[in-house]
Structure 1
Amino acid sequence: MTETTKTHVILLACGSFNPITKGHIQMFERARDYLHKTGRFIVIGGIVSPVHDSYGKQGLVSSRHRLIMCQLAVQNSDWIRVDPWECYQDTWQTTCSVLEHHRDLMKRVTGCILSNVNTPSMTPVIGQPQNETPQPIYQNSNVSTKPTAAKILGKVGESLSRICCVRPPVERFTFVDENANLGTVMRYEEIELRILLLCGSDLLESFCIPGLWNEADMEVIVGDFGIVVVPRDAADTDRIMNHSSILRKYKNNIMVVKDDINHPMSVVSSTKSSLPRVLTRNHILG
């Protein structure tokens, strides 16, 4: 597959990040490496989305401090960014709402097709009249040459860096205005961009707890978006999926990362580890 025919992916991790750990960063790296090795995907970005202060977790530190810790943790990464949108809302947002927000935002600012797992290349771009023939390459009529893969990835990457992957300053956080004039945006109808939820096997297992998740949300998260799972402590993901009718139904939309590296994935949990040197001291808050 060529770069333009592969599915372009943004990995989105939601959580308290109380604090963010080395394991969280490793989770992103492992997921990207695995997806690239399949030959079907190109990961073009990773988003860390800390939960709102009203989430209700005991010992949850102020989002201002968690955002700063997350910024420090990803400061040396050229593809993982921190997004403060959840923290800046009036109240706690569901994981489903966060996924839908980023999908809709990317539709508006990149001009790419963001498709559901089960309906590739069928989701229309926001703002494009559905009764008109789509413009196959550019909105700019002065450009007549077909874009190369480098141009496509460059434009998408530019949009990501300006919108969903903003790096707010450590001292003050100014959220990007989603309605700001971003200039002429190229529209690429021939590439597919997908946002996948990145999580550990513990979150996957939580789907099996009766009443914990809204079933309609689960249908959207697993059925429309899809999940990339990085197992922890040799968790049996097949057993977990067999305990939920929704997970069984959309089993093909759940990608379990398998590699030959023995990572101590228990350190992903905020309660078990903190980033050395970056955080300067332990913030083990439960």
Structure 2
Amino acid sequence: MDTSSPPPSSPTRTFSNPPNYSFPHHRLNRVLRNPEKQPIVLVACGSFSPVTYLHLRMFEMAVDYVRQNTDFEIMGGYLSPVSDMYKKPGLLAAHHRVTMCTLATEQTSHWLMVDPWEAFQSYQRTAVVLDHFDYEINTVLGGVQTPDGEHRNVRVMLLAGSDLISTMSEPGVWSEEDLDHILGRYGCFIIERAGSDMDQATDNLARWRHNIYLISQLIQNDVSSTKVRLFLRRGLSVRYLLPSPVVDYIEEHGLYKDEGPNASNSNYSKHLHHKDVEKAKAEDKDVIALKKT
């Protein structure tokens, strides 16, 4: 069971907001059901180009893990799409990605939300994004309460696939300062993905092992946005890989017929954020193999 203490109050940082921005909290539970538990919020950062059922499924796997293995209580979950400045191949314009994530969460979930703060401005590091959530939930909204009215700060925690942990364990991909901020201050839940060696990756991050929670996939799912985009370019069906409202939106707007202006490998490597170069090469091999079929 979890015995770690909550992080201190939000660090002193000035945040700039996109035009007409307001932090979404319509599904954020503001009262703890069990005052003996520590309130947390899950945040998944990523391209979501497009959002898939696996992205949503990660949150449900985290719910099961938290309930069975920790002393946490989940108060809400957020998808935070990256900015267009990420410059990744297949990265559709932010307004499309935010809309698709919103359709997916609002029409298939009762507790997930989409925060467009990261998407509609310049590139923001993951550490800064987590600080933004901490600030909005604990400073602006005032955290949550117990049934008796006692105030509690909410711990923000990153939710990601095991490929993220692999990049964190690679020298030079993430700064030591950011790793300590993300893993030391906040912590993360890592969903196992096929082909990733989580044990080796976490061995290299032993300093923060107490704040890294590994979640096994009981049903393997290797659906990726990369493969979905390839299917769409080839005119193949992606129904039941993505939420139906997202499929309808893609078809209505004729999206992903090509990779667009950001498709160069040089840009992909230059602006790498959550995936290292080897992961990118592996995805390229998947695409090449599928093209040959």
User: TM-score, structure 2 length as denominator?
Assistant: 0.66
- What amino acid is aligned across from residue 92 of structure 1 in structure 2? Y
Find the partner of 1:84 among 108, 116, 123.
116
- What amino acid is aligned across from residue 197 of structure 1 in structure 2? L
Residue 220 of structure 2 corresponds to residue 263 of structure 1: yes
Which residue is equivalent to 2:246? 279
For the residue of structure 1 that corresponds to 2:189, the secondary structure is strand
8 A contact 1:6–1:192 mirrored in 2: no
Residue 232 of structure 2 corresponds to residue 200 of structure 1: no
Which residue is equivalent to 2:202? 241
Which residue is equivalent to 2:35? 4
For the residue of structure 1 that corresponds to 2:60, the secondary structure is helix
- What amino acid is aligned across from residue 212 of structure 2 in structure 1? I
Residue 79 of structure 2 corresponds to residue 48 of structure 1: yes
Alignment partners' CA distance in 2, 1:276 and 1:283: 16
Which residue is equivalent to 1:31? 62
- What amino acid is aligned across from residue 271 of structure 1 in structure 2? T
Gaps spanning 5+ residues in structure 1: where?
A: 114-136, 138-146, 153-187
For the residue of structure 2 that corresponds to 1:45, the secondary structure is strand
Which residue is equivalent to 2:291? none
Structure 1 position 192, deviation (Å): 4.4
- What amino acid is aligned across from residue 205 of structure 1 in structure 2? S
For the residue of structure 2 that corresponds to 1:48, the secondary structure is strand
Which residue is equivalent to 2:147? 148
8 A contact 1:19–1:283 mirrored in 2: no
Matched residues, number: 209
Alignment partners' CA distance in 2, 1:63 and 1:96: 20
Structure 1 segments of 4+ aligned residues over 3 angstroms from their partners:
281-286
Find the partner of 2:187 among 203, 226, 231.
226
- What amino acid is aligned across from residue 201 of structure 1 in structure 2? S
Write 1 or 2 for the structure with the bigger share of helix: 2
Gaps spanning 5+ residues in structure 2: where?
A: 2-32, 229-240, 260-282, 284-293
- What amino acid is aligned across from residue 211 of structure 2 in structure 1? N
Alignment partners' CA distance in 2, 1:3 and 1:232: 32
Matches within 5 A, 1:37-186: 37-75=68-106, 76-89=108-121, 91-112=122-143, 148=147
- What amino acid is aligned across from residue 112 of structure 2 in structure 1? I
Structure 1 position 148, deviation (Å): 1.6
8 A contact 2:138–2:153 mirrored in 1: no
Please tell me the root mean square deviation across aligned C-alpha atoms, in Å.
2.3
| Residues 112-142 of structure 1, C-alpha deviations (whole Å, 9 max, x = no match) | 38xxxxxxxxxxxxxxxxxxxxxxx8xxxxx
8 A contact 1:18–1:283 mirrored in 2: no
For the residue of structure 2 that corresponds to 1:35, the secondary structure is helix
Alignment partners' CA distance in 2, 1:236 and 1:221: 21
User: TM-score, structure 1 length as denominator?
Assistant: 0.67
Alignment partners' CA distance in 2, 1:232 and 1:238: 12
Find the partner of 2:52 among 7, 21, 27.
21
Bigger relative contact order, structure 1 or 2, given CA contacts below 8 A and separation 6+?
Answer: 1
Instruction: Report percent identity of matched pairs.
Output: 37
For the residue of structure 2 that corresponds to 1:46, the secondary structure is strand
8 A contact 2:38–2:73 mirrored in 1: yes
